[in-house]
Structure 1
Amino acid sequence: MLSNATLFLARRYLRAGRSFVSVITIVSILGVAVGVLMMIVVSSVMKGFEGEFRKVLIGSEPHMLLHPKDNKPTSAQAAAEVLEKVRPRPEVVATSSYVNEVMYAERDGLQSGMDVLGLPEDGARFYMAKIAKHRLDGTLDLKPGGVVCADYIAGQLNAHPGDKISVYASSNVTSAVKRFRVVSDEQDEAKRHAGYKDIKLHAQEVTLQGYTRAETAGVHAYATLETAQQIFGFGDQVSGVLIELKQPAEVKAVVQQFTDLGIIPADWSASLWTDAGDARLAAMSNERVMMWIVLLIIAVVAAFSVMNTTITVTTQKRREIGVLTALGSRQGQIIGIFVSQAAFVGVLGTLIGGVLSALVLTFRDQIRMGIAVLSGGSAESASGMFLATIPAQIEPWFIAVTCLGSITLCLLAALPPAWLAARVDPAVALRD
């Protein structure tokens, strides 16, 4: 345990000759505070962005789609058998059959493509309630002959709720293109013209019921199961089974469990909500790791400033250290003086950094708006848009580790110069 004399000298060495705390000590404290501030704020914001992106995917993508491996339609009976096995599972919150295909839409000479998800009445009710927060205009209550799409697609078609849209199944368009190529190779002009006349796309008309925000709900379009089956010529066939989970983050483990239990047929596979953003999520995770490395370097630099303070003090107090050693002070007591000084700097700097990080995270949006105004932008330019505010996810364990790590680095940084100071020969120190 450090003696009172050791603590007294540690406090005394923190003071300058004419001021309460030396300038170099203040710089060291600020260095530690900035390191802690950067670690907490950057990590919290990066984690917040990753969390928001996950929420968008979970809130807009089907959690799990079970379908034949060849992606061809399957019978309603086959889907019903899978549904019978899936519905009782405790991991599942909702499930239904579905149809998923691409269709082309046209209105007044404007065209666009839609990735359509057709759902039966019970599945549509649950799923559309899930994306209801992304609605921009119209209704999401699916009706036969109606479609809900993203605002991006509606903008391409210059369509509004209630407008009629002509739609074509992508398979029909592909078939027409193939026939066109064959007819184009016909040498007989009469036969070629006759072939061109036979190439027709039979459009079906649907009503735009409403549209959602593409930024948060994706570019999917939605229709009733019957409407989708009619557009794509599925008859009573479906694409597979859609499953919504209680814990979407555990979707990969659930798929493995379903496979082990034989719930997923051998010739079927699963498409997961993570498939739509796996690469992006992995990239964001790698960005966080690289950011931690950069922040760790900043923390080490702050620790070096503490080491610099200790070196400066031990150099200035060389004669006093010699006197203390000559009077019988042990090496541990000498080291304790400067380690106590580093502990004071580390603890005070960490507390200041923690308070500043709390203020920055609390007023992060106001700070963003202030910077936008000062840089000539508009504070309200992002209002109503996805991530219009800066997300942050505070992790108490990370804050605790950061604070403890900061103090530990400060103590470790003070040990080398303190140990060297304790080994000074008293005769040499007093002669200098």
Structure 2
Amino acid sequence: MIFNAFERMVAMRYLRARRQEGFVSVIAGFSFLGIALGVATLIVVMSVMNGFHVELLNKILGFNSHLSLSSSSGNGVVGDFDAVTEKLRKVPGIASVTPTVQGQVFATGTRSGGAGALVKSVRQEDLQARKLIAESIVDGTLKDFVADDDVAVMGANLARSIGVGVNGEVTLITPIVQTTMAGPIPRMKTYRVVALFDVGMYQYDNSIIFIPLESGQVLFQKKGGVTDVEIMADNIQDVPALKPAICAALGTKLDFNAGRAAYCTGGSTSYVIGDWEQANADFFTAVEVERNVMFLILTLIIIVAAFNIISGQIMMVKDKGRNIAIMRTMGASRGTILRIFLISGASIGVIGTALGCLLGTAFAYNIENIRRFLQEVSGTDLFNPTIYFLSKLPAIVDPMEVALISAMSLVLTLLASLYPAWRAARLDPVEALRYE
């Protein structure tokens, strides 16, 4: 072994300081707690950031498509969308294709006032195929979402805010103005609510309404066409490679020269292809930047604890100067002295890192239960969904990330122990014993 039994025994005895050396022991204790808390905090924060990224990605892709095809003409309507849909479904790598009409509305219910909402008009089979929606219905059923009726499926938070329930009526007012005998008025239509969903993402639960495709075409005056054709890929990593194949299936060729968007040009109709990454680039970039900044800030806790190890070990070397000199005169080599103090300093880091890993992973796995408990005890909202988008605090523990944090902590504490150990090994026995 690198460290023999004598070196380990002396190092452990030095860590258990006697009463007159209590201050050294206090510094070692604070260093140990600093390492443990730093590692635990870093694991918890990184796990929560991982959870945020994954949950937001799943929610966003549950509502929005991987790719979105629209017309590049002035009105933006994709005509003959059924033929376009059939062509795209034959492209290898595409899982589903959904024609849709989207538009902003003002939704009103039984309560005074209302709320802004995004209406997505889809067919019943396409809505039922979206697992995120189908598995998140909290009231009503999607079986009543039929094309022949003026029906709607909406977010539970939105329904609650405007005072609408299942079998209640919601009126949608569009920005499109129609001319009547009374003058120009916005187009509006009333729909019967047949189901409410709660996907756990406030932004969607408080702003999305689904209506049948035919109703959306009438409401937004897109008869015979759709505003978007949503495309889901078998593998999200294949999204960039699908763009040329989509253009080829539509009898066009891919053109990236017009800004960030991909254009299909050269055919009778030109199309614009947008992908989920472009649509949410700013959002996910902000999450990634915040994640990196939090990692750097919390790493400082471990670095501060490592400096405490340096100061504590230097004080220990000074207090143990006589003992070091006696061991040197009895035959202990400089390497032996160096290893003794290296063990005593590194032990603080090893044990502190191990405890931090246990605390951090246990806290991360139970963070939602802990949040609920603290929220009940304090009576305050600790995780406001209007701010954080999600209604639950997510956490995903990445074993590789935990291993990286642990390795970083061990390396820092080992480096912090080197200088005091080197000073102890360089101590001259004659100078140490001269005034004893």
Q: Distance in 1 between matches of 2:187 and 2:86?
A: 37
- Give, in angstroms, the shift of residue 32 of structure 1: 1.9
1:16 aligns with: 17
Question: 1:306-385 alignment to 2 at 5 Å?
Answer: 306-377=309-380
Aligned letter for 1:17?
R
Q: Which has the higher contact order (CA 8 A, sep 6+)?
A: 1
CA deviations over 1:83-102 (Å, ceiling 9, x no partner): 34421334322113222233
CA deviations over 1:160-189 (Å, ceiling 9, x no partner): 333455555533x2x65xxxxxxxxxxxxx
The answer to whether 1:209 aligns with 2:210 is no
2:29 aligns with: 26
1:226 to 193, 200, 214: 214
2:59 aligns with: 56
- Give, in angstroms, the shift of residue 415 of structure 1: 0.7
**Bigger Cα displacement from structure 2, 207-216 vs 329-338:** 207-216
Q: Distance in 2 between matches of 1:256 and 1:431?
A: 84
1:97 aligns with: 99
Question: 1:272-283 alignment to 2 at 5 Å?
Answer: 272-274=275-277, 277-283=280-286
- Give, in angstroms, the shift of residue 376 of structure 1: 4.2
The answer to whether 1:237 aligns with 2:225 is yes
2:89 aligns with: 87
CA deviations over 1:179-209 (Å, ceiling 9, x no partner): xxxxxxxxxxxxxxxx974545665444333
Change (3 A) 1:220 1:70: farther
Assess if the C-alpha contact under 8 Å between 1:148 and 1:210 holds in 2: yes
Assess if the C-alpha contact under 8 Å between 2:28 and 2:308 holds in 1: no
Where does structure 2 lack aligned partners over 5 or more consecutive residues? 255-262
SS in 1 for 2:129: helix
> Where in structure 1 do 4 or more consecutive aligned residues deviate above 6 Å?
378-382
Change (3 A) 1:406 1:360: same
Change (3 A) 1:260 1:334: farther
- Give, in angstroms, the shift of residue 151 of structure 1: 3.9
Change (3 A) 1:226 1:294: same
Q: Distance in 2 between matches of 1:38 and 1:411?
A: 20
Q: Give 1 or 2: higher strand fraction.
A: 2
1:296 to 288, 294, 299: 299
2:119 to 107, 116, 121: 116
Q: Which has the larger radius of gyration?
A: 1
CA RMSD of aligned residues (A): 3.5
Aligned letter for 1:44?
S
Query: How many residue pairs end up in the alignment?
Result: 408
**Bigger Cα displacement from structure 2, 245-254 vs 353-362:** 245-254
CA deviations over 1:354-386 (Å, ceiling 9, x no partner): 22223323443443344334434489999xx98
2:134 to 132, 135, 138: 132
Q: Distance in 2 between matches of 1:27 and 1:163?
A: 61
Q: Distance in 1 between matches of 2:171 and 2:374?
A: 47
CA deviations over 1:204-225 (Å, ceiling 9, x no partner): 4443333334726352222222
The answer to whether 1:69 aligns with 2:68 is no
Q: Distance in 2 between matches of 1:112 and 1:39?
A: 40
Change (3 A) 1:345 1:71: farther
Assess if the C-alpha contact under 8 Å between 1:166 and 1:205 holds in 2: yes
- Give, in angstroms, the shift of residue 409 of structure 1: 1.2
TM-score, structure 2 length as denominator? 0.80
Q: Distance in 2 between matches of 1:369 and 1:112?
A: 29
2:264 aligns with: 265
CA deviations over 1:93-131 (Å, ceiling 9, x no partner): 21132222334556678555543222234423323x541
Q: Give 1 or 2: higher helix fraction.
A: 1
Where does structure 1 lack aligned partners over 5 or more consecutive residues? 177-194
Assess if the C-alpha contact under 8 Å between 1:131 and 1:217 holds in 2: no
- Give, in angstroms, the shift of residue 394 of structure 1: 0.3
- Give, in angstroms, the shift of residue 146 of structure 1: 2.0
Q: Distance in 1 between matches of 2:43 and 2:92?
A: 38
- Give, in angstroms, the shift of residue 82 of structure 1: 3.7
Assess if the C-alpha contact under 8 Å between 2:123 and 2:212 holds in 1: yes
1:185 aligns with: none
The percentage of aligned residue pairs carrying the same residue is: 27
**Bigger Cα displacement from structure 2, 233-242 vs 297-306:** 233-242
Q: Distance in 2 between matches of 1:416 and 1:380?
A: 44
Change (3 A) 1:415 1:259: farther
The answer to whether 1:399 aligns with 2:384 is no
Change (3 A) 1:156 1:355: closer
Assess if the C-alpha contact under 8 Å between 1:93 and 1:244 holds in 2: yes
Change (3 A) 1:113 1:71: farther
**Bigger Cα displacement from structure 2, 237-246 vs 364-373:** 364-373
